[in-house]
Structure 1
Amino acid sequence: CRLAKSKGIECIVDGAHAFAQFPFTQKDLECDYYGTSLHKWLSAPIGTGMLYVKKEKIKDIWSLMASNKDQEDNIRKFEEIGTHSAALHNAIADAITFCDGIGLERKAARLRFIHHRWIDRMKQYPNVRFLQNIDDERNWCGLVLFSIDGMDGGKIGDYLLSKHRIITTPITYAEISGVRITPNVYTTLSEIDYFADILETIAKGQVKEVMASAK
């Protein structure tokens, strides 16, 4: 954001996976706009979100639905989204209370602790690669992306779901290919240990269904 500002460019941050995962403040980002999904790490209902717009920018942004003229520079003009269930946004308060009861520092520590249960076991396999600097906890918290040499990330995800009911997110971009693992605070140690057990069999080459197709 600082680089963008130095070039006169407004900065929009897609914070869908950052909010309520680990501690930070809006001031840390220095962005003009910030949007996030509240169902991810805050665990509010699906369909809820949050928008930050820098005060002086509000008047220049049109609301999705027509708003009153006197709301021109009022952030609440963006809250009008048409007919919807009030239960969704009312439940946000309970989600915030739950999150605050844990505390973001403790939550982040718990997420890293859960991840270490499987990461530390998989480090022994030279064919398993982590797509973050896993030895520096400043580079990761609730999300960890890994790949296994010679194996297809999509097939790994399909196998884990169909055979073991483990939900993961295969990621395939131009320069990134792997499987994203995102446990939450309610993930039990027995669950993450079971995942590690299965992943070890994959890393050992014992699951033929996940092998990458020859090019």
Structure 2
Amino acid sequence: MDIDRRTLLGATAMPFVPSVLSAAVSADDWGSIAREYDVTREIIQLEHGNWGMMPRPVLQAYRAMIERVNRDTSYYARRGMAGDLEGVRAQVADAMGVAIEEIVLTRNATEAMKALILQYNRLQSGDAVLYADLDYDSMQASMQALATTRGVRVMKMALPEPATRQNLLDAYRMAFDADPGIRMVLLTHVSHRTGLVLPVAEIATMARQRGIDAIVDAAHSVGQLDFRLPELRADFIGMNLHKWIGAPLGVGALYIRKDRIDAIDPDPAEDPARTDIDARVHTGTPDYAAQLTVPAALAFQAAIGGSRREARLKQLRDRWVRPLRDMPQVQILTPDDPAMYGAITSFRLRGRTSHDENVELARTLLERHGIFTVHRDGLASGSCVRVTPALATQESELDRLVEAIRELAS
């Protein structure tokens, strides 16, 4: 499908919606939507968690933006691009349900989360911070670094497995009450290890009642689940736009509630007296073309709709999980409570919890069955294999996965 190049190059506010996509969405024609993605057919790709593939219209928009930035360089950058980027930021803020002065673009969620954790300035020597085994590795490392940079005690907890909403709430409640010195907690909305969805709003509220700030890692939840940032009831959130929103690689965002911006120090490369959110991140020169393509990605996703997208991703997850749930040899690591999973779910063969065993399991799925997954480490209970379908995934591919796991389990 052709997109008007003048529209793409003229402004970032264009919300174009391909007519074929609109028709497919109206008919719940997920096959047509999947065909908007040029996914490889050399293997069955079930590892969409690393980053999100751009659908064809977004890829075309990105190519056009690369051409413009490359052609006009600083003539555009110093005369009109700042206004266009502010338009991108406004659209991101609107999509997330927050004010423009509460959002700043980053290169990824890791950059956003590092700023929030390492520049959080409400800690005193002897205070404690808390994180969990399912949190992302670099976020765990950033929390550990606070022992040196802020002189605090760093606490780690193992989340219950199998998880339920209630035992997760109970686990955090007990951890908070066991150490009144806790002043900050890291919460991962959707775990990259297992796909577990934390009841973040309830935990953040529980924390606030005890004088604890929650810093939320929404790298995998924005675009995978249907919500707006205020619903998480947290003041500090980092997110990706190149995973489930499908923008080009190299775009994320940081949110700070406007009356809490002073709780995050400016980046060391910025003027320490600045009070705006922009000063909390200092990236240098980013991929401007990627940032300018974000409105195209938002428009594509808006045409599908958040609730419809979440439902489809859960349907794809259920397609392979439900046939295997009753197999005693297969351990599914995400509960079947619809509020506690999205697209991602991990599994292991029961009793096989080592790193090497799950590396081998993922290798066998690829080499014997042509199915690409990825092993994950770091759980208190052991290693596992992660399966991540996306809108590009065909249901028949998940049926192939079921057959393969059944064979390996037997």
TM > 0.5 between the two?
yes
Aligned twin of 1:90: 292
How far the C-alpha of 1:39 sits from its partner, in A, is 1.7
What CA deviation, in whole Å up to 9, does each residue of 1:134-170 have, x standing for no partner? 2x22221111121212443222112223444433232
Q: Does 1:139 align with 2:340?
A: yes
Distance in 1 separating the partners of 2:359 and 2:307: 33
Tell me which amino acid in the other structure corresponds to 1:8: G
Q: How does 1:63-82 map to 2 (within 5 A)?
A: 63-64=266-267, 66-67=269-270, 72-78=274-280, 80-82=282-284
* 8 Å CA contact retained: 2:239, 2:253: yes
What is the match of residue 265 of structure 2?
A: 62
Q: CA deviation at 1:29?
A: 1.3
Q: What's the counterpart of residue 3 of structure 2?
A: none
Measured in 1, the distance between the counterparts of 2:270 and 2:302 equals 33
How do residues 164-175 of structure 1 correspond to structure 2 at under 5 angstroms? 164-172=369-377, 173-175=379-381
> Higher relative contact order by CA 8 Å / sep ≥ 6: 1 or 2?
2
Find the aligned partners of 1:171 and 1:141 in 2 and give their Cα distance.
Answer: 17
The one-letter amino acid of 1:181's match is V
How many aligned positions are there? 202
Q: Which of these residues, 384, 393, 399, is aligned with residue 187 of structure 1?
A: 393
Instruction: Map 1:1-215; keep pairs closer than 5 Å.
Output: 1-64=204-267, 66-67=269-270, 72-78=274-280, 80-134=282-336, 136-151=337-352, 152-172=357-377, 173-204=379-410
Q: Give yes or no for contact 2:365–2:372 (8 Å, CA) kept in 1.
A: yes
Rounded Cα–Cα distance in structure 1 between residues aligned with 2:376 and 2:269: 38
In 1, Cα distance between equivalents of 2:281 and 2:351: 48
TM-superposed deviation, 1:103: 0.7
SS of 1:125 mapped into structure 2:
coil
Preserved CA contact (<8 Å) 2:266 2:272: no
Residues 76-118 of structure 1 show CA distances to partners (whole Å, capped at 9, x for unaligned) of 3346511222111112111111111111111111112112221
Q: Write the letter of the residue equivalent to 1:155.
A: E
Distance 1:164 1:74 in 2: 52
2: distance between equivalents of 1:97 and 1:199?
A: 37
Q: Give, in whole Å, the separation in 1 of the partners of 2:208 and 2:375.
A: 34
Distance in structure 2 (CA, Å) of the matches to 1:126 and 1:102: 37
| CA drift at 1:60 | 4.2
**Conserved 8 A contact 2:240-2:251:** yes
2: CA distance between counterparts of 1:110 and 1:203?
27
Change (3 A) 1:35 1:127: same
Shift of residue 15, structure 1, vs aligned partner: 0.9
Relative to 1, partners in 2 of residues 1:69 and 1:126: Cα closer, same or farther, differing over 3 Å? closer
- Structure 2 distance, partners of 1:150, 1:196, is 19
Tell me, in whole angstroms, the C-alpha distance in 2 between the residues paired with 1:28 and 1:176. 32
**Structure 1: 5+ residue runs without aligned partners?**
205-215
Structure 2 CA distance for aligned equivalents of residues 180 and 69 of structure 1: 42
Query: Shift in Å at residue 187 of structure 1?
Result: 0.6
What is the Cα deviation at residue 121 of structure 1?
Answer: 2.0
Assess, with a 3 A threshold, how the Cα gap between structure 1 residues 88 and 65 changes in structure 2: closer, same or farther.
farther
Q: 3-state SS of the aligned residue for 1:11?
A: strand
Instruction: Confirm or deny: 8 A CA contact 1:64 1:81 kept in the other structure.
Output: no
Question: How big is the alpha-carbon RMSD for the aligned residues of Structure 1 and Structure 2?
Answer: 2.2
Distance 1:114 1:93 in 2: 26
